[in-house]
A = this chain, B = another copy of it.
Amino acid sequence: MKNTFGQSVSLTIFGESHGGQIGAVLDGLAPGIPVDEDFIAHQLTLRRPKGRISTARQEEDPFVIASGVFEGKTTGTPIMITIPNQNTKSKDYSATRFLARPGHADYTANCKYHGFEDYRGGGHFSGRITAGLVAAGAIAIAALKNKGIRIGTHISRCAGVSDRPFGDVEADIAALNEMTFAVLDTERAAGMEMKITQAAESGDSVGGILETVVVGMPAGVGEPWFDTVESVLSHILFSIPGIKGVQFGMGFAMADRYGSEANDNFRMDGEKIVTVTNNNGGINGGITNGMPLQFSCAVKPTPSIYKEQDTVNFAKKENAPLQIAGRHDPAIIHRARVVVDSAVAIALCDLLAQRYGTDFLA
């Protein structure tokens, strides 16, 4: 299935950076879930470029819920959300039509779509398409919250600066979801922003790591094979542009630990079974164990940079220099944060609906 994710709850996205409309169809959510348009707008704001450290394309996202919501609640039928494109400067891109921007999909799009792709601004590959995912994800996030499942993501590392680790996760999640630049320690946030500004000034860009925690997931969700929680989450996370790594719990650091250090011992916490540590990120054998889900995503530096780069003209099949113009972000990690939260919410809604039935989130 191409631009559709999920089985019981599914998301289909459509649109191109400079086309008429972008958007998403979210299907299979339980009926009766309240839909708060202000919260959708809030989430879209978190994704929108902000201030000096983002592209100058400052676009409102005047979304329309075209179906699937009636009297303020989900009906249980497909929710189509559409966002018209505005303020598109298509002429910026025509000059570089056949120049493969390094790190971008121009060349691979051409290999796949044989030149029929809408090349303007990255077309269907543009990060802009994530706006539809964020709008749909906002409904999923709210549905999960009604069931006590909350998601929070911070920039755990950016441009060589690390945030503090999660502490009181409930409080941290609450705080993060109000921030535009989601860093738990304000001082380090300032450090990151300074680094981003410096990179921007030298025509360059930076990447980072997003760390996510999810509290409130019941134990027993996921499958032992193929649809493990790790598999399902990584599937949707790796379709977010720029994500090149996903790790759960201690992740790659486990490679250097002994089993006695990496195992999470169990213990009783009153009537509840918990683990003492959470190196496995809340997942054993592909199935949730009731502890917080915890995982990180590596976000590569924005590939659009202003330094001249060597590349090819893939129509002429010859080497060519490339000087990117237009409006671009020196970092996308702070904007990618809400995309991660949204993607995770949709995947979890799907896993829960498969496990407990389509009414579960109602």
User: A152: CB under 8 A from chain B?
Assistant: no
Contact B362 A14 (CB under 8 A): no
Tell me whether B303 and A259 are in contact (CB under 8 A).
yes
Instruction: Give Cα distance in the complex from A268 to B319, angstroms.
Output: 6
21 contacts between A and B (CB under 8 A): A1-B226, A3-B223, A7-B8, A20-B66, A66-B82, A70-B123, A75-B116, A77-B123, A102-B266, A112-B220, A157-B255, A205-B259, A205-B260, A235-B235, A244-B249, A254-B299, A257-B301, A259-B304, A263-B305, A276-B310, A355-B357
Any B CB within 8 A of the CB of A186: no
A226 contacts which chain B residues (CB < 8 A)? Answer: 1-5, 235-236, 239
Bound-state Cα–Cα, A221 to B359, Å: 12
- Return A182 CB to nearest CB of chain B, in Å: 15
Contacts of A208 in B (CB 8 A): 255
Q: Tell which of B13, B31, B80 touches A113, judged by Cβ atoms closer than 8 Å.
A: B31
Contact B244 A116 (CB under 8 A): no
> Are A264 and B4 in contact, with the CB atoms below 8 A?
no
Who on chain B is nearest to A76 by CB?
B113
Q: A13-B225, A21-B64, A75-B113 are in contact. List 7 more A-B contacts (CB 8 A).
A: A20-B64, A25-B25, A66-B82, A76-B113, A108-B219, A111-B218, A267-B310
Which of these, B118, B285, B289, B360, contacts A357 with CB under 8 Å?
B360
Integer count of this chain's copies in the complex? 4
- Interface-centre pick from A25, A65, A116, A124 (highest chain B CB count, 10 A): A116
Q: Interface digits, A240-258 against B, CB 8 Å rule (1 contact, 0 not)?
A: 0101111111111111111
**At the interface, yes or no: A284 with Cβ under 8 Å from chain B?**
yes
Q: Are A284 and B116 in contact (CB under 8 A)?
A: no
Which residues of the other chain, B, contact A38 by a CB distance below 8 angstroms?
none
Residues of B within 8 A of A82 (CB): 21, 66, 80, 82
Pairwise interchain contact A244-B268, C-beta atoms closer than 8 A: no
Given contacts A105-B284, A207-B262, contact A31 B227 (CB under 8 A): no
Whose C-beta in chain B lies nearest to the C-beta of A333? B255
Question: Is A125 an interface residue, CB under 8 A from the partner?
Answer: yes
Residue of B nearest to A161 (CB): B256
- Find out whether the CB atom of A289 lies under 8 angstroms from the CB atom of B114: no
On chain B, the residues within 8 Å of A261 by CB distance are 301
A288 CB to nearest chain B CB (Å): 7
| A97 contacts the other chain (CB 8 A) | no
Assess whether A23 is interfacial by the CB under 8 Å rule: yes
Q: How far is the CA of A105 from the CA of B22 in the complex (A)?
A: 32
Residues of chain B within 8 A (CB-CB) of A125 are: 224, 285-286
Complex alpha-carbon distance, A250 and B265, angstroms: 33
